A = this chain, B = another copy of it.
Amino acid sequence: MAEAAIKKIGILTGGGDCPDLNAVIRAAVKTAIIQYGWKVIGIEDGFEGLLKEGKTRPLLYDYVKGLLSRGGTILGSSNRGNPFEYKFREGGKIVTEDRSSVLMDNLRSQEIDALVVIGGDGTLSIALRLSKMGVRVVGVPKTIDNDLAATDVTFGFDTAINTATEAIDKIRTTGESHHRVMIVEVMGRYTGWIALQAGIASGGDIILIPEIPFNMDKICEVINERIKSGRNATIIVVAEGAKPDGGDVSVRMVVEDSHDPIRLGGIGDMVAHEISLKTNLETRVTVLGHIQRGGIPSAFDRILATRLGVSAVDLLAAGGYGKMVCLHATHIEAVAIEDAVSQLKKIPPDGEVVKAAQSIGVSFGK
């Protein structure tokens, strides 16, 4: 039996925020309305918006005006709300429950015929399970870390490296004025794309990434050689997931007289600490943190996000359920979510970009 035609679709954003989520939403809404005459429902706070009442609202054409350059997501996002393993507090402890039937009921009662799901690995995995249960769903991959194998680049990444580059540009002059070692910690838990790209773009001297375990002695050697050549300042760009070659980081920070740690000292602090012990030089750490997720999106990201939003809706219209849109070279394509999720795109330690950096004198600390 033929499926009923799509008349109304829902859109949601899941996981950590990232520049130009709103531009994807805008493009998808406009395309759905202009090209296909569909209605669009905005679902708030990720999948949680399909598990609770009062968390959906119509997205009209005029409502998405101005979203192209607005950071964050107007729909809200959440890392909670996995319908298959919904967590909640009951009697003081946390209980997990499968609430996918609530979600399915909600889709039916609101007459949402199909879903555009914008999110990272976790969110897309849920989309995949829903797809296997018969929900018409397409995905738009989102990760600020650019670590998804299925696509050349993810939207938001370009803005993030521009933000990080601009910040390192600012920090450089302080380092030069005071002959200091300036350490800048950027995002990238499993891969070092932001560190590598922002490091090259900002003229970083040492770049530390998860893909290339670093050696503290080598780092200090590089710094000392620089000083011998009259280069008194050194910029180290370090991904939060970078690790020393001898294994895991041993330094931990705790709060005295407190049950919970406030903030563990990150890898940037550890590197700074070791350098100051070994070289007697002044070091300063800056953790860029959340500024990398915000900001006015770059032109590249606005265009990419727009193309992805349009293509996701086109993909729904073409019946490409269970797929997600992605960028290859200059083309937007579609791949099965199943094949794409959890395929981490790592930096090849001997790839062309790493080698290019080494050719101009950048050290990776090994």
Contacts and interface: CB of A to CB of B under 8 A. Distances in A.
Interface in A129-159: 152-153, 158
Contact of A163 (B62, B152, B170): B170
A356 B294 contact: no
Interface string A62-80: 1000101111110011100
Given A27-B356, A27-B360, A329-B152, A170 B286 contact: no
Contacts of A272: 262
A311 interface: yes
A95 interface: no
A331 B352 contact: yes
Contact of A353 (B34, B170, B307): B307
Interface in A317-366: 328-332, 352-353, 355-357, 359-361
Nearest to A197: B303
A161 interface: yes
Contacts of A170: 71, 163, 290-291, 293-295
B255 A255 contact: no
B174 A72 contact: yes
B360 A291 contact: no
A251 interface: yes
Contact of A73 (B177, B299, B329): B177
Given A329-B152, A329-B329, A359 B182 contact: no
A270 B262 contact: yes
B255 A262 contact: no
A269 B265 contact: no
Interface stretch (A96-104, A198-206, A216-224): A198-206
B72 A303 contact: no
Contacts of A310: 355-356, 359-360
A263 B269 contact: yes
Most B CB contacts (10 A, CB to CB) among A21, A62, A202, A302 go to A302
**8 nearest A-B residue pairs (beta carbon):** A170-B294, A72-B173, A71-B173, A329-B329, A201-B299, A72-B177, A17-B177, A30-B360
